[in-house]
Chains A and B, each alone.
Chain A
């Protein structure tokens, strides 16, 4: 186990390094990093200005644009070679320094602190919704495998999986918020309860397709489990079917849901970008889209890094959990 753990940790470290490098490369190699950081000011010929042969366009009486460019170069270590720059940037990030947002001069870490909770709440609610729906759905479908309900639910889940998030969001918004006016049509800040309530519809938008996925997985696994010897034995002993289902079959079958938990988190994060837009939720999904449009690169990069690192770590933990649940994996 220790050896296995050690190998996994090395892999984790390597992946994290590579993932951060990808983000860094996107900023430094796709396009001119200086333009990414200071925008049009990158075109200033600061040497000529220093030599007095060109004019600074400074709008701000307080400083010159060339000072700005110099400050940005220092902040992002742009005068260093790329590998050094990467390491310095990584160091900054590890100490919580994600740079400063162009948009409002706030430190990016503050932006993250402010926006992350809403997104986390949405993701948690979406997972609760999906598991809450998928477990009973999967159990009934497996219990009545290949009967009418199962057939219908297969069609339904197939359909749900084919609806793009944004389309489902718009349809739910139309029906539940506008037509029947059960839920608010947009996010409401305010006390905890009203926030949770206004996140219900977004959580269903994200959670329903996920529930369909979980349901299919669970159903298949349950059907397999129900054919195991020990289940036959339990049945032979005359235990009530529901007891068999929940006591003996469901628990081992939940493993398979655990295995896709990591992947599904990635799907949810992607979906939250869109859903936050539809329902006006002030989370990191909306923030990153705004930041992309604004070319607010420090914010884009910080959010991508936080999301990717979280995603990697979640998958790592799921992997550990799974290998702990099913020791055979460790022999791989």
Chain B
């Protein structure tokens, strides 16, 4: 059974990666909306100011990012100094009249203390130990209240120190020092110190699956060293101008060193992790419920109000059922990207949705190391034959906008010249004929033989497969393979696939997505899933990683998008619409701020922050 343990762990790790990938999509509402509703216009300047004020040592790096970029940003924001790297989340208050949330904070009713927030998540997490379990969206919803990550994203998509007091680059940025706050206590009463940061990272690098992502960032020799009781130095693989944004996720969640030791010996502790956050885990029954209670000894209690007494989290695998329950008042908040669930909540009375279509993307990807997709002609033919229009209208049902690249048009990174060559089946014919002439063994009846793998059993995944196959059929003989999600991700990681549908990209800063496309992520187990290596693209990726120059970074990402398109490894369909749906009485879902008063990025790939919610 250990084999299965391996498989399972790989899997669980991959799913979190998936989660990573998936940030958010914008809402089905249109761009006009986005531009006019701009809550960010109000808040971004303050936020930038706050970030500058609290950022301490990071201020210098941020200043560089603040360089205006007229070309790519939405019109009304172009000359703002604190130009957001991410577009703001839309609040669609569906049936209730337009509410104040949409416009920031002013006229909200008085915050109320107390109450229990009931949250639905789409999947149970194997465990909640950030050094042993890989986190997907659901796990983040459960763990962000338990852990304060050392850094987090502000509302403009820039990193800010969170649990850490400050981050300082050393030299060219290939090392960074992190100074922790003094006097912070874990839920078990122990005091946070440098040794905890070291023990946590070491445990993460020891975990075969978490390490897949972590090794891409941290140097192999001496990834972390202690400077003093509260300061550690991270040593990186290459210069990084924005390292702290890599520790905004589970890599930035710190555990007490001695608890980690015990957890290594006793796997059951992974269910009841100990953090520094505003909530502590009270009880957890797998597949049933996880209950968090307020931490009476919260380190930031003087700086922020924590309103809720308890948070109860229920795994509900059918998103439409979860959405119905929010409408019926049986749940207070859910996170989903399922079109039917989104539509259900938009239709429901007393439910508001916070939609973000500007982060991750839904796409198909091909394995470039095995036949037939090791040949670019086959990849291009499949792209031509894909019916993206049908996908958008029938699968996404208008909830998510079309994607031409990995960036939403509202984002400064977006390259407007890049287009996907989908919905053009006639152009596939000559390519397929040519390919089959060269490789008759991979074809029958003049069509290329391929296998479409997807996760199931799931009605919606089956539908997607049937839709895609209907478009591909004239040029491809498609066999289907339906695998359980875990096995599906494992096989993809091992390169045992032709073509799959996937959801990925969309980190608040694209540098965090480098891990999916760089050459060094390719090995026996690869998180560069299509196994496509482009050394020149790698050079660009690392150049922008080191760069402080926003214009140059934008330029580089434009070129990377073009290169990715030209390699025909991904067929982008749409920008995922990540939606936080909440009952009308749930306040402060977006617009929460850090202990030092910076407004936080809301709905980062569906990762909802529950810390400062209150119920009216």
Contacts and interface: CB of A to CB of B under 8 A. Distances in A.
- A and B in contact, CB less than 8 Å: yes
Interface of A: 38-39, 41, 57-61, 63, 65, 67-69, 71-72, 75, 100, 102-105, 185-186, 188-189, 280, 282, 293-294
B466 interface: no
A308 B525 CA distance: 41
A185 B3 contact: no
Interface stretch (B35-43, B60-68, B317-325): B317-325
A4 B486 CA distance: 53
Interface string B274-294: 000000000000111100000
B10 interface: yes
B220 to A, nearest CB: 15
Contacts of B4: 38-39, 68, 102-103, 105
Q: Is chain A's interface secondary structure helix, strand, loop, or mixed overall?
A: loop
B5 A105 contact: yes
B265 interface: no
A188 B317 CA distance: 13
Contacts of B286: 104
Given A57-B524, A104-B126, A186 B321 contact: yes
9 contacts: A59-B7, A59-B10, A61-B208, A68-B3, A72-B1, A72-B3, A104-B286, A185-B321, A294-B486
B6 interface: yes
Nearest to A188: B330
A77 to B, nearest CB: 15
A58 B317 CA distance: 31
B318 A58 contact: no
The size bracket of the interface on B is 20 to 34
B107 interface: no
A69 B288 contact: no
Contact of A59 (B208, B289, B321): B208
B535 interface: no
Contacts of B8: 102-105
B206 to A, nearest CB: 7
B2 interface: yes
Contact of B289 (A71, A104, A189): A189
Contacts of A100: 1
Give me the 9 closest cross-chain CB pairs, A-B, nearest first.
A68-B2, A102-B4, A68-B3, A41-B3, A59-B6, A60-B6, A38-B3, A186-B321, A100-B1
A328 B3 CA distance: 57
Given A103-B8, A189-B288, A293-B484, A61 B206 contact: yes
B524 to A, nearest CB: 6
Given A102-B1, A280-B317, A293 B457 contact: yes
A60 B5 contact: yes
B1 A75 contact: yes
Contact of B9 (A59, A69, A72, A188): A59
B7 A39 contact: yes
A103 B487 CA distance: 11
A189 B120 CA distance: 13
A58 B289 CA distance: 33
A58 B6 contact: yes
A104 B289 CA distance: 17
A113 to B, nearest CB: 13
Given A59-B209, A68-B3, A103-B4, 7 more contacts: A38-B4, A39-B3, A68-B2, A72-B3, A102-B7, A104-B126, A189-B289
B283 to A, nearest CB: 14
Contacts of A38: 1, 3-4
Contacts of A189: 288-289, 314
A61 to B, nearest CB: 5
B268 to A, nearest CB: 11
A19 to B, nearest CB: 26
A38 B287 CA distance: 25
Contacts of A185: 321, 324
Contacts of A58: 6
A104 B12 CA distance: 11
B456 interface: yes
A71 B126 contact: no
B347 to A, nearest CB: 13
B485 to A, nearest CB: 10
Interface string B523-550: 0110000000000000000000000000
Contacts of B484: 293-294
Nearest to A41: B3
Chain A CB within 10 A, most for which of B6, B10, B487: B6
A294 B482 CA distance: 11
Contacts of B317: 280
Given A59-B209, A104-B126, A293-B456, A68 B1 contact: yes
Contacts of A282: 287
A8 B5 CA distance: 45
B318 A65 contact: no
Interface in B1-41: 1-10
A39 B486 CA distance: 13
